[in-house]
Amino acid sequence: MLIPRPSDDPRDPLNWPMRRKILIVATLCLATFAGFSGGLSLQLVPAPQSKLYGVTTTQMAYQNSCAQGGMAGGGFLFFPLARKFGRSSAIFWSLFGLMASQIWAVCMTSSGDYSSYLGSRFLAGFFGTVTGILGPRILIDMFFLHQRGRAFTAFHFWFDFGTVAGPTVGAFVASGRSWTATVWYAFALATFAFIMCFFFLHETAWDRELGAINQTPPKGFVANRIATFFPGTKVAPAISWLGFLEVAGRPFIVAFTPVTIILGCFTLVSFGMYVAMNSITPVWLQKPEKVGGYGFTSHQNALFSFTHWIGVSLAWLYGQLVSDRLPLWICSRRGGTWKPEYRLHALWFPALLCNPIGLGVFGLALHSHLHWIVLAVAQVLVTFGSLSCTPITVNYACEIFTPAPAEVAIILNLYRLAYGLSIAFYINPWVDLMGFNWAYGMMAFLQATSFGFVGLLMWKGHEIREWKLGGLLRSEEGECVIDEKHSVGVEA
């Protein structure tokens, strides 16, 4: 059954041909990959810059925290702008801002430019996060309920792949060259995404309420592109500046809704432990063996980071196979009537099994100095476990806040980054105090315990969602997703 029910108008994004939808999704994937890799591209090669700026490698690693701080804040500005000027226009101009921040970074080649360079990383994260924030809103606009799991998985694969592949590719680009070559690569990638957005993005805002008036974009290519991006108000629904201010406050309503807090606590722990692992790995891989490290070169360290590629690829495969099929199967077993919490059952395997086991094995491997392959297996498990959770939790949250998926993406992105942003500053003292085995063993127990928040939503999600703020909490619960005949057939 088609949920939501499309209108009869061919301009309705739900009625667009699948070819156009796929091109838009591919463009969004490229843009979010460029955005999230741009600010983190020099994560694995801090040594040349630390020598240039006269700071320690630890101080140079603060560039990652600056980029993540920008990622946490960018959505709060660009989300209301997207409501005023259109989603496509906001993404298009955010990529232009990302390009400008890369140009700024590549010019910071003097010994006194350390602070300015960190500022460029903040802006790279600030502009780079915008597609990741607005992408879920566009996916909700274009896809039916039974298609969203795969759409969110594909989108968040490139979302997460940018954070893991960007540093790896950056390390290889910088190998044997100046560090500025990596920034030029990030600039070229952002430019390519900017061009693809100009050709393939379309405004997806559409009001299906009876009597609603929707804008008609020009049919000519050049006129359509001008209307969409310069500045975009001719294709976006009209909104007053008072309405603009009201929209700007909606993320805070989402943030303080009880169901968001419960889901956010799980998200915070799940992604924070993943960052805690990544903060330690590059350092200890390159430490000499006589002090407990593995004696890796920068090149070997970059090769080791392919474990992240394996983990995020497995997360993509798991999402494609499970994220729609499992909740729809549960729905069919229960009469075909939809309940958003069915989405959460896909978290059992990655979050409750793979993540805690991976964290425990990681701590044991460093504590006992086991072979680096054991460390690699642990890294794959944690990467798979943590990054599998992202599309599932965002999809669930967007489906319970159907009027506000972009606001949801902003807040869940903030939860994901909050713990990860801070843990880099105290993970080393934590390990020094307790040792690798107890520090990461405690993380494994915390990860398993945090699944209790998900279990609470599975058990009492409907009741918790009754505690509303601001009227944004609306879901598709109770809709007949699978007709009675098919439901009975599946059950039989």
Look up tokens 């190998």; give the residue: 175
The label of the residue with tokens 């976006």 reads 236
Which of helix, strand or coil describes residue 41? coil
Instruction: Provide the pLDDT for residue 489.
Output: 43
pLDDT of residue 492: 33
- Looking at the structure, do residues 279 and 368 belong to the same domain, yes or no? yes
Residue 332 · residue 482 · CB < 8 Å: yes
Q: Last residue of some domain: 202, 232, 248?
A: 248
**What pLDDT does 484 receive?**
58
* 70 CA to centre of own chain: 14
Strand partners, 480: 337
Report the number of distinct structural domains present in the chain: 2
- Between CA 369 and CA 392 the distance in angstroms is 35
Tokens of 358: 């991976």
Same domain (yes/no): 129, 168: yes
Instruction: Say which amino acid occupies 298.
Output: S
Domain boundary among 231, 248, 265: 248
Longest dimension (CA), the chain: 74
What CATH number should be reported for the domain holding residue 404? 1.20.1250.20
- Give mean pLDDT in consecutive 10-residue pieces for the chain, a chain of 492 residues: 84 93 96 92 82 85 85 88 92 96 94 93 94 93 91 90 84 84 94 97 85 84 94 86 86 92 92 81 80 80 85 93 93 90 95 95 91 93 93 93 89 82 77 89 93 95 87 83 57 36
DSSP string over 164-190 = HHHHHHHHHHHTTS-THHHHHHHHHHH
Domain co-membership, 354 together with 451: yes
Q: Assess whether 234 and 349 both reside in one domain.
A: no
What is residue 485's predicted lDDT score, i.e. its pLDDT? Answer: 55
Task: Note the pLDDT of residue 346.
Answer: 95
Give the end of a domain, one of 248, 274, 294: 248
DSSP secondary structure string for all residues of 239-298? --HHHHHHHHTHHHHHHTSHHHHHHHHHHHHHHHHHHHHHHHHHHHHHS-GGGT-----H
Please state whether 3 falls in left (phi above 0), alpha (psi between -120 and 50) or beta. beta
Lookup result for tokens 């059952």: 345
- 399 and 369 in a single domain? The answer is yes
Statement to judge: residues 240 and 299 lie in one domain: no
How many beta carbons lie within 10 A of that of residue 25, not counting itself?
A: 20
* Residue 271 domain boundaries: 249-492
Torsion over CA: 42, 45, 50, 53 (sign): negative
> Do 278 and 177 lie in a common domain?
no
* Domain match, 203 and 344 both: no
Do 133 and 37 fall within a single domain?
yes
Cα separation, 257 vs 78, in Å, equals 22
Q: What residues contact 68, with CB distance under 8 A and at least 6 apart?
A: 39, 125, 417, 420, 421
Residues 350, 260, single domain; the answer is yes
Q: Which residues lie across from 337 on neighbouring strands?
A: 480
Residue type, position 187, single letter: F
Residues 133 and 163 reside in one and the same domain: yes
pLDDT at 164: 80
- Give CB contacts under 8 A, 24+ apart, made by 448-452: 448/352, 448/356, 450/265, 450/266, 450/269, 450/270, 451/266, 451/347, 451/351, 451/352
Match 């809103």 to its residue by tokens: 137
Quick one: 131 and 186 in the same domain? yes
